[in-house]
Structure 1
Amino acid sequence: MLKTFDDRALGSSSSNKVAPSAGTPLEQSSKGRDALLNCLISGGDERLECEPATGLNMYGYGPSPRPLDLAFGSSTASTISAPAFAAVGAYHADLLREMETHSAADIYAREIARTRTELLLLLGLDQGLGSLPVDAIMATSGTDIHLFAAALLARQDDQTLMTVTLMGNETGSGVMAAASGRHFMSRVSNDCPVAKGEELSPGHATRNTTVAVRSADGTLRSDEEVEFELRGLIELARAAGLRCLLVVTDVSKTSLLAPGLETVFRLKARFGSMLDIMIDACQFRVSAATIRAYLTHDFLVAVTGSKFLAGPIFSGALLCSPRMSERLKQRPLPAALADYCAKADWPEGWMARDVLPHRANFGLLLRWKAALFELERFVRAPEEKVIAVLSAFAEAVGERLAQDSAFKPLDGRPIDRKPLWDGSEAARWDEIPSIFSFYLCNPHRGGMLTAAETAAVYKNLAVEHGDLVPVRLGQPVRCADFSDMPASALRICLSAPLIAQACESADAFNGLISQAMTVLDRTADAAAQLTFEPSSARASL
């Protein structure tokens, strides 16, 4: 007989249960399947909660596979694939059997350590950098990683920390609060309530400032303008005796690498040790080689398994180079972080382990297992095929968005990582965009749709209508204000599973392009059929 805590740890509690959904390929008992579903949405904050009636969370996704969906929304979230669900289900069943005779916390400690090792292996980091180990701190979400980074760097040398991030519309709604050392939601991974917005360490708040990369009309600010603003902010921080953490987003919700790497390296050369750099690669649209290059420069790197990798939401990791590990592993943590993570989530030898509870978070473990299932499949695909798929998709989608009057592409720029490669011109898959952002237009009425209208189209597409399967796009991103009219951009995205499948055959690749065109057809139709009254402030093209 399993203990009550063990039952809850593996998702058998009655709280936060999800409604079953059809279409899963896994043949298992209803009880075992329900336990798996509930485990997959455990060990996080309220963003994981699912509505009982729909089985979907606030992003419109749930823990069950939905293989019929046209799934092109991985810049927001994804639904677990049927193969990953089957693999995780078998793994979950093994854990349940072992729980009959062993401690949940002990099992979790062993398995999350194995998961950490597997992640580093798939990234080519299992041998470390220069024979010294790379450390990975496991976290429930990308936002948690920002909180951890701020906590590790705060009060170093008795200096207050100032974090500099991009505006939340390019990163995440909770990032700015987390980067300032504050609770960013109302519940944490151990299911305890917290005061959203309150400092984790009262009286030791991290300062936070943000930089916009777009102008009010949605166009991109120049690199020179952004660099000038950043330099001024960091100069003010240095004059005030502060340390700084600059968060570089690679890539953002709208496929930006910002600020540009030439700017980042110039700032690092100018400010030296008072400026630390963290790469927010939480979309995980970066190659293993790119991650290794960032770590070689002693930049912290944040990744998650729930965007490009298309694992279920809420699995993150903060990667630390050997030199950064040596510097940070003896840093104390705020006591409040004991509610966010377990001892085993942190690598051996880190002081953080001394103040964290020996407990299990099987939800985090299973979500990472699903993400790594997809990562392993993706890294097996030959890079030349991955490049071919990405290039052809970018050409087809880019041409459609540019030529169809139903769409207006959002202003963007190429992904440029040349400063990492010392002038090397080798082709790399992660320099080809996999997120394509666009405003919606109604050609019959004239002008772009408002943010509210775009949101209505997004929600309508995600619902099954008769024989029409749901279309999953990236959630609308508020990008501009035209006069007094707010405008948002939708996103059509490639994920690792979509690319891996398209690499298997010409038919699979052609099917991917066909599906993408169907998605854009249906999106254009939905925009044209809106019955909203024209707005006097509607922007013209």
Structure 2
Amino acid sequence: MPQIVDDRALDRNVAAGAPLQRSGKGEEALLRSLISGGDERLDCDEATGLNMYGHGPSPRPRDLAFGSSTASTISAAAFSAVGAYYADLLREMESASATEIYEREIGQVRHDLLRLLDLNQAAGQARVDAILATSGTDIHLFAAALLAREDDRALMTITLMGNETGSGVMTASSGRHFMNRVSSERAVAKGEELQLGEATRNTTVAVRNKDGSLRTDEEVEEELRGLIELARAAGLRCLLVVTDVSKTSLLAPSLETVLRLKGRFGAVLDIMIDACQFRLSAATIRAYLARDFMVAVTGSKFLAGPIFSGALLCPPAISERFRHRTVPAALADYCGKAEWPEGWAARESLPDRANFGLLLRWKAALFELERFAGLPEEKVIAVLSAFAGAVTIRLRSDPAFELLDSRPLDRSHLWGETSVLRWDEIPSIFSFYLCHPHHDGLLTATETADVYKGLAVEQGGLAAVRLGQPVRCADFGDMPASALRICLSAPLIVAASESTEALAGLIAEAMTVLDRTADMAARQSGERDVAPMRVASA
């Protein structure tokens, strides 16, 4: 993929209205392709040009983009690179088969993803395989489908509650359609079994108490142990989905719990790491794979690629189990054979279908991953530490906010005791409630949602503020409360690592975002006489 010499200059030019070097017709085709090949979450409103998450396929470099825990808009640099790549593909397709070109290029995406994670690089090394998917939720569906057909025993999946993972994860993990349309454009019945009579059982575990505080690791482990014991007694196998990290930056259940459960239940229990936020290092991913844990990643959260793109990384032992598995016929509407590894039996029941939307979205995500992976770890740590320190101090000291209960990202049981600080041990998602300015208490979930929506709209010359969607974390009496999230993304870290001034600018932008959030919350809660804040547009 072509590299952009000065991405920041390109972003500034686009913000000022300078056109990208592409014909109008070619750009329209690119925009259509970027939102194709998925479910209705990709659909954009005709009036606004935005999807249900408030993002579209075009760059929006003026946005104060701190919402990567939910979604992001493609950067101008990635958009330009992907546009040039797509133009080359279109020229090649004038004289060659689109499906053959797609199979080659999506195979290259798989290769590049594994290369950037330093997988399959050594001669004689056992191969890690990757199944590509149109979203992280699709990955949960694929994993359940593969494991459910492994033997005569039924499968039970155990996931965190949807408020810490994703709204469709529980449905997909039970082997059911999780949206009303699939990537083949066929309409399906949401909640219906993928294959009649073969739905997987799903159960969920809460990691928070009703008031939003965290349950202890011991409580969670005891509940999980009981569930798996019951499943084993009933002749079921289990898939435990471990979230690293969740919507509110939790690693749950704890790795100490996970390793103890795996040691206790052995082959009855498989483990999948839901790393769909992709807020963990290549070394951490390799360590999970070395323990024969599957790892699910996406390109649209921390990497800030356009929604959606996903991959299921399968360690050699799992690949050997899966390569001979057939898949339900209904999966043919979700994926084509090129998205599955060479030599797998599943390919034989899947169509020769090209999904150029998925290809382009993964290309954009890998563009960002390549830039991020090229940074020295000490620079990444410096940016994350400075940002975490400044944001945490602000959220703790400002009466407009209340930090959501959280805990450190502890992977010591994966690595063993070490004094080495790894960048993915520093949080990059900070969750907070909005406090009522007139009396003790929090804004309601509805009021918080209104603040979130209001900030996302450009008004009065101010740039749109993009935070992570509110996460319902607590119920106080009959009042549900939600937490907003301010997040770092890989592109923000890359930009801030260039100089001391760039890092200071990033932190200043974050403070501006919190200023405007507090102001909007005061207005939303009824304080109409507050003078408008004077905030420089970004």
Asked if 1:95 is matched to 2:89, the reply is yes
1:249 aligns with 2:259: no
TM-score, normalised via structure 2 length = 0.94
Ranges in structure 1 where 5+ consecutive residues have no aligned partner: 1-19, 535-541
Partner of 2:347: 353
Q: Distance between the aligned counterparts of 1:424 and 1:35, measured in 2?
A: 51
Q: Does 2:41 match 1:47?
A: yes
- One-letter code aligned to 1:344: A
Where does residue 310 of structure 1 map in the other structure? 304
Cα offset for 1:443? 1.9
State, as a whole percentage, how many aligned pairs show the same letter: 75
Residue type of the alignment partner of 2:484: L
CA gap 1:355/1:525 in 2 versus in 1, 3 angstroms: same
Q: Distance in 2 between matches of 1:129 and 1:46?
A: 42
Letter in 1 for 2:247: K
Match of 1:28 in 2: 22
CA–CA separation in structure 2 for the residues paired with 1:128 and 1:174: 37
> Which residue pairs with 1:180 in the alignment?
174
Deviation at 1:532, TM superposition (A): 4.8
Aligned to 2:205: 211
**What SS class does the counterpart of residue 195 from structure 1 fall into?**
coil
Aligned counterparts, 1:274-353, within 5 A: 274-353=268-347
Q: Determine if the alignment matches structure 1 residue 496 to structure 2 residue 490.
A: yes
| Matched residue SS, 1:150 | helix
Residues 1:526 and 2:526 are matched in the alignment: no
Tell me the SS of whatever aligns to 1:210.
strand
Does the 8 Å contact 2:404/2:483 carry over to 1?
yes
> Could you tell me how far 1:157 is from its partner in structure 2?
2.0
1:238 aligns with 2:232: yes
Aligned partner (choices 411, 414, 435) of residue 405 of structure 2: 411
* Distance in 2 separating the partners of 1:176 and 1:328: 22
Structure 1, residues 188-241: CA drift from partner, whole Å, max 9, x if none? Answer: 011111111111111111000000000000000000000000000000000000
What is the rounded CA distance, in whole Å, between the counterparts of 1:320 and 1:128 in structure 2?
17
Runs (4+) of structure 1 exceeding 3 A deviation are 20-25, 531-534
Gaps of 5+ in 2: 1-13, 529-538
> Equivalent residue of 2:151, what SS?
helix
Separation (CA, whole Å) in 2 of partners of 1:141 and 1:278: 16
Deviations along 1:34-59, one digit per CA (max 9) or x if unpaired, are 11001000000000000011110000
The one-letter amino acid of 1:210's match is T
* 2:116 is the alignment partner of 1:115: no
Q: Give the SS at the match of 1:156.
A: coil
2:329/2:349 contact within 8 Å kept:
yes
- Are the counterparts in 1 of residues 159 and 204 from structure 2 also a CA contact under 8 Å? yes
Q: Distance in 2 between matches of 1:102 and 1:21?
A: 37
8 Å Cα contact 2:297/2:312 also seen in 1: yes
| Residue 67 to residue 234, structure 1, CA distance change in 2 (3 Å) | same
Give the C-alpha shift of residue 155 in structure 1: 3.4
Note the C-alpha offset of 1:424: 2.5
Alignment-mate amino acid for residue 39 of structure 2: D
Cα 1:293–1:169 change in 2 (3 A) is: same
Q: CA deviation at 1:512?
A: 0.3
* Alpha-carbon distance in 2 for matches of 1:128, 1:351: 26
Contact 2:472 2:481 in 1 (8 A): yes
Deviation at 1:533, TM superposition (A): 9.8
Compute the displacement of 1:297 (Å).
0.2
CA deviations on 1:460-506 (whole Å, 9 max, x unpaired) are 00000121100000000000000000000000000000001111111
Residues 280, 301 of structure 1: 8 Å contact kept = yes
Amino acid at match of 1:359: R
In the alignment, what sits opposite 1:389? 383
Aligned residues of 2:157 and 2:174 also touching (Cα < 8 A)? yes
Moved more, 523-532 or 79-88: 523-532
Q: Residue 452 and residue 24 in structure 1: after superposition, are their counterparts in 2 closer, same or farther (change >3 A)?
A: farther
* Distance in structure 1 (CA, Å) of the matches to 2:186 and 2:299: 24
Aligned length in residues? 515
What SS does the aligned partner of 1:438 have?
strand
AA matched with 2:113: L
Q: Do the aligned partners of 1:129 and 1:321 also contact (CA within 8 Å) in 2?
A: no
Letter in 2 for 1:440: L
Rounded to whole Å, the distance in 2 between the matches of 1:381 and 1:197 is 43
Q: Which of 508, 514, 517 is 2:511 aligned to?
A: 517
Task: Report if aligned partners of 1:23, 1:66 keep a CA contact under 8 Å in 2.
Answer: no
For residues 386 and 409 of structure 1, the distance between their equivalents in structure 2, rounded to whole angstroms, comes to 24
CA distance in 1, matches of 2:122, 2:287: 12
1:153 is aligned, of 147, 152, 157, to 147
2:15·2:62 contact (CA, 8 Å) conserved in 1?
A: no
Relative distance call for 1:21 and 1:98 in structure 2 (3 A) is farther
Give the Å deviation of 1:129: 9.7
- Amino acid of the residue matched to residue 316 of structure 2? P
Query: Which whole-Å CA distance do the structure 2 matches of 1:522 and 1:158 have between them?
Result: 57
Change (3 A) 1:533 1:195: farther
C-alpha contact 1:24 1:66 (8 A) present in aligned 2 = no
Please state how far the C-alpha of 1:29 moved relative to its aligned partner. Answer: 1.3
SS at match of 1:255: coil
Q: What does residue 156 of structure 2 align with?
A: 162
Relative to structure 1, is the Cα distance of residues 259 and 159 closer, same or farther in structure 2, using a 3 angstrom cutoff? same
Deviation (angstroms), 1:21: 11
Alignment partner, residue 189 of structure 2: 195
Q: Which amino acid aligns with 1:84?
A: A
Give a deviation string over 1:373-412, Cα, whole Å, max 9, x none.
0000001111001001101100000000000000000000
Distance in 2 separating the partners of 1:21 and 1:399: 32
Once the 2 structures are TM-superposed, how far is the Cα of residue 170 of structure 1 from its aligned partner?
0.2
